[in-house]
Chain A
Amino acid sequence: NAGVTQTPKFRVLKTGQSMTLLCAQDMNHEYMYWYRQDPGMGLRLIHYSVGEGTTAKGEVPDGYNVSRLKKQNFLLGLESAAPSQTSVYFCASKAQLDTEAFFGQGTRLTVV
């Protein structure tokens, strides 16, 4: 039972490069989220999706784009990476709004 899987686990980018983080869940969850975690700042919501084909902005959406073409996948894109985007990124999914969020194992991204 895989749950929520993020790809890749680690990545180093140069400033200005682009990349896509993949989140895949096998629990048939409707709701999916991307968070970034920085020391002392907790988990901040970047974008979220309430179902296939939908996306919406969270607390810190600037510099990121997302897509949810398939229910099981939620992609996070960085078009032009900046050092300020160095962080640990977590994807999460949940079946209903007031239920447990299941997190992926995280992606550690460093932008140099």
Chain B
Amino acid sequence: GENVEQHPSTLSVQEGDSAVIKCTYSDSASNYFPWYKQELGKRPQLIIDIRSNVGEKKDQRIAVTLNKTAKHFSLHITETQPEDSAVYFCAARGGFKTIFGAGTRLFVKA
């Protein structure tokens, strides 16, 4: 079955710096890769997603890159702000299942 590994588990950056979170997946048939943000005590919410026919997608300060050959995908947040502090989850869809990574807790220090 699909397995998704996410690194790092914790990331601390200074406000204004960039943050990068990396994920790898095991199922080469996976073709949809969403990223979710979960603030403390809240439900996860989609922030960006990418499909396998695209190598990169950007939405304002966030971008996602996908390398299907290496089975890697990454989330990039530029010009980080304190409100970016949250837990971020990557995920991969193989078949009917969407499997999540273990999450990255991002701290943005003002």
Residues of A within 8 A of B (CB): 31, 33, 35, 40-45, 48, 50, 56, 58-59, 90, 97-98, 100-101, 103-106
In the complex, A67→B108 CA distance in Å? 42
Could you jot down 23 A-B contacts, CB within 8 Å? Answer: A31-B96, A35-B100, A40-B9, A42-B100, A42-B101, A42-B102, A42-B103, A43-B103, A45-B100, A48-B97, A56-B96, A58-B97, A90-B43, A90-B44, A98-B51, A98-B93, A100-B34, A100-B46, A100-B49, A101-B34, A101-B44, A105-B42, A106-B43
* Interface residues in B, total, Cβ within 8 A: 24
Taking a contact as CB atoms under 8 Å apart, the answer to whether A43 and B89 are in contact is yes
Residues of B within 8 A of A (CB): 1, 6, 9, 31-32, 34, 36, 42-46, 49, 51, 89, 93, 96-103
